[in-house]
Amino acid sequence: MTESVLRDRELPDLSNGEITRYSRHLLLPEVGVQGQKRLKAAKVLLVGTGGLGAPLALYLAAAGVGTLGIVDFDFVEESNLQRQVIHSTRDVGRPKVASAQDRIKGINPRCSIVTYNTMLSSANALDIIREYDIVADGTDNYQTRYLVNDACVLLGIPNVYGSIFQFEGQASVFYAKEGPCYRCLYPEPPPPGLVPSCAEGGVLGVLPGIVGCVQAGEVLKLIIGGGETLIGRLLLFDAWKMKFRELRLDKEPNCPVCGRNPTIRELIDYEQFCGLKKNDREEPVETITATELKARMDRDEALQIIDIREPHERAIVKFPRAKPIPLGQMARRVDEFDPAIDSVFICKIGQRSVFAIRALREAGYTGRLLNLKDGVKGWAREVDKTLPVY
């Protein structure tokens, strides 16, 4: 049975209004007055107010968690609204932390909210996280996941983890005092570009709601005490097949941050660790802007314009004069390119096409290769504003 992370905390009283508001909790013997007092005393930090952060914030506030910290440096975009239910149409263009704060206050004005309109980094993570009892990680990138994990291990704080991609989600509780950490499961990040982001790969709108609610449930159990948490377990969910699976996780004795002889004793450069910093030995990729490409097309210059997007993505927006060659087929179709003619590579936002160019170089191609800066999104913004942005 899980012991409360607030076991030694002096607890506040509940007002008559709070007893009415949380009466359905108080009727549960596993929660009761003591559990609700713990919720009121608790401080939880939410890293990200996107797909996962939205249900986390909404349900933790509704449950009566006394203090919620929210970290996010992003602004609300229209494409967020398909799944980030804490934001509304009128919030487009606003900082996410401001939009989330308004919604949380609307649900529970008794909840104290601390906003951090900044990127969590090695420079500020420890100072921010040490003020909280639990961290709920709703991020969508590896460098922040490793950062949150390491900070939580160093501070002795539980990290309630969730991640989503397309139709699949994962959830666990990484608490080095009682079980494995994130590095025990994933010692190293995948190579950059191997796993597309939700912006490139897509995500079923309801999926983060399901996974985020699982995370919220884990947070409540850690605060209240009791039940069985996901410490030492990884919950896998497939929304398309509607299946849950569970994997046992063991603590890795040689884990560099929570093992017997840790080598990581302070926060590191996570961009470098995840391979996101420029490698001086790596040949740079030449870019071309949308307006530059349009000018060359208007001059009817000989160009090989290659659209590396998959068929279902090309159906959303077609690119003029482009030959479709999906990224996975690039290296084996190198013979279709003419080294005497410049090749321009197109994807959604100009990231996957970089890997297409490098794949061709590794295959021995010697022609000039150009990457369309900002991809189809840049073309729609600078050249053809009638195109939809997805």
Q: Which residues are catalytic?
A: 198, 347
**Full DSSP string of 142-159:** HHHHHHHHHHHHHHT--E
Alpha-carbon distance 107 to 66, whole Å?
13
Query: Shortest CA distance to 37 belongs to which of 6, 2, 68, 3?
Result: 6
Dihedral sign for Cα 87, 72, 382, 302, please: negative
Instruction: Please answer whether residues 345 and 372 qualify as being in contact, where contact means their C-beta atoms are separated by less than 8 angstroms.
Output: yes
Q: Would you state the structure tokens that stand for residue 196, as one six-digit string?
A: 């597309």
| Closest CA relative to residue 285, chosen from 372, 161, 374, 224 | 372
Other Cβ atoms closer than 10 A to 373: 19
Name 61's Cβ contacts closer than 8 Å, sequence gap at least 6.
68, 104, 107, 108, 111
Residues contacting residue 17 through CB under 8 Å, at least 6 positions apart: none
**Cα distances (angstroms) measured from residue 201 to each of 198, 251, 300, 379:** 5, 31, 33, 20
How many Cα atoms sit within 13 Å of 324 on the Cβ side?
A: 11
Lookup: tokens for 118: 């900044």
Return the exposure string of 101-128: e unless at least 16 CB atoms fall within 10 Å of the residue's CB, then b. bebbeeebebbebbbbeeebebeebeeb
Q: Which DSSP category does 191 fall into?
A: P
Cβ burial, residue 377 (10 Å; 0-12/13-18/19+): buried
State CA 346 to chain mean position distance.
25
